[in-house]
Chain A
């Protein structure tokens, strides 16, 4: 017989089972202030930034590589470029701090959106959780794009479209305005793991997959949202001038590679660098040689009779551009 006493035992179990079985209830609260973990492996990219022609580890195509080789840092000194923001698939590796909060329906308390305020360039993105469609192909693109989210168990999966042209590596390697980014947000205690998978039909051969960790800041008032940017005149330029290197004339191409005793090819990126087999190829490539265009000219040849003049041309020092040219004097 079904008694009230049995009911008091069974009903909570049924309720608990029902609630547990519904994925929608398995949501994680990302609310709070989060700080970037700059000690992680991506620290250099978050802080000082990459060198010129440091395209390693990016599954880019040859056109993206050419874009990077033509890039001249002076382009960012143009007034309209100075306040250019890191696009959404890059900004999580900037000098990053974020506040996340939820927007819920005041009556039903259903989740409408998750908001992420990012202090880098005062960005604010909205991740719509109400199932709304993405905008028309003719709608404007923004730095943060248009994002919608779904829960996959305890993981939040976000799809972002309508992002402006930006970069996959700061300043050098372009991302087009037709890229799409899928993010996965996972929380483990006070650590937020942010995983992004970006596809770009114009500049990536394979998806670019990145991950970063952020730490929860226990002080909810620690978020500084202000990152003003106002352009200034940086030197005089002819109207409409756009700094760039003509093909084959990037004088800094080998600097990074040579400084780190790397083959030139290794710094130029490409999908093959995603795989461990590339290490075998790396061992067979010669280390790059860099000729510093700002180096002092070679020291004058020592007077005849002290041995130097007898050396065959180019036989001293060996490095192009006169490096070590005076070494012969100690012969």
Chain B
């Protein structure tokens, strides 16, 4: 009888312990907080950086943490990348792609803009391609992935010169019109030129089957949008690009989900995230324009209280390389010289 009772008690104890283990309890819940969206670290220790790989939707994944965000489309036909990140992170990006798509050939790379954070690893990653480039319009580099960019991007790289940007980073496959169409992994992929946005050579990439848009740097969850005025960037080009994204995105339910958006930096978003960002950038532009209309000097605009970016600074003034003040100054110079 004792054995029976002991066994019964032991069974109950095990059962209850099992419940306690499986059901979260406790007086001190862990301090879980929503992570802040942060720009790429300054002077990073590259060896310690890791990439974060997430499924986005359909055939598209995100590789974050290698510089600008990288979109990865995977299918039976191979691998297509949007941007390549910094060169120093290329080994980790290649490892992530091989893990996502073992035994698949890297066929195509599309660049959205000029910056090293987006094109820095072009020269390394194209070597992962194994295409026999016999067709027209594919450049003259056999056994490489096809590297595509707007003609404006190639023009910028050419102008900057091979001393600063090695030729292997230049896109041999270019388009000069408003868009270029591909069909990759059983879905249409549309590359849309965004004129005079971050630079004069920007594009966004729209995966029509997967219903995903990779915007490049016109949409940045960790900063105000960068405007590379020296290379043709304009505030109105940024805003027009964001309006383009709003036109092609369709929310699934009550302004959520549906078309998913991969920004230049930061977390995956959807139309509403782009909408709030577009509103912000437009409002800031309008404030600077109103100041210009009142004949205010740049010094007066920079001294405005509240500043044109004031209520958005806690969330987006995080990049020491692209501060709110730099953003406002660029907008001012941009709008002041507009013809």
Where the two chains meet, the residues of A that have a C-beta atom closer than 8 Å to any C-beta of B are: 2-4, 7, 11, 14-15, 18-19, 22-25, 27, 61, 63-64, 66-67, 70, 75, 80-81, 83-85, 108, 110-111, 121-123, 129-131, 134, 136-143, 148-152, 157, 159, 161-165, 174, 176-180, 182, 199, 201-203, 229, 239-242, 244, 246-247
Contacts and interface: CB of A to CB of B under 8 A. Distances in A.
13 contacts: A22-B20, A27-B23, A63-B313, A80-B272, A123-B254, A138-B52, A139-B54, A164-B273, A165-B273, A176-B315, A179-B34, A242-B286, A247-B306
B24 A80 contact: no
Given A140-B268, A143-B254, A240-B282, A24 B19 contact: yes
Given A11-B9, A148-B32, A242-B283, 10 more contacts: A63-B312, A70-B311, A75-B279, A122-B254, A129-B23, A141-B273, A149-B24, A152-B25, A159-B29, A246-B287
B23 A24 contact: yes
Contacts of B25: 23-24, 150-152
Nearest to B270: A140
A80 B275 contact: yes
A152 B287 contact: no
Given A152-B27, A247-B306, A159 B278 contact: no
B12 A18 contact: yes
Nearest to B38: A137
B266 interface: yes
B171 to A, nearest CB: 27
- Which residue, of A25, A70, A152, A165, has the highest number of chain B Cβ atoms within 10 A? A165
Nearest to A150: B24
B37 A137 contact: yes
B2 A2 contact: yes
A240 B32 contact: no
Contact of A138 (B64, B273, B311): B64
B155 interface: no
A140 B275 contact: no
Contact of A202 (B8, B273, B314): B314
B19 A22 contact: yes
Nearest to A21: B16
Contact of B32 (A129, A152, A161, A244): A161
A61 B306 CA distance: 13
Interface residues of B, number: 63
Nearest to A65: B311
B213 to A, nearest CB: 13
B306 A19 contact: no
B54 to A, nearest CB: 6
A123 B36 CA distance: 25
A138 B16 contact: no
B270 to A, nearest CB: 7
Contact of B240 (A18, A240, A242): A240
- Which residue, of B5, B54, B260, has the highest number of chain A Cβ atoms within 10 A? B5
Contacts of A134: 32
Contacts of B311: 63-64, 66-67, 70, 174
Interface string B230-256: 000000000110010010000101111
A2 B1 contact: yes
B240 to A, nearest CB: 7
Contacts of A239: 243
A66 B272 CA distance: 21
Contacts of B253: 122
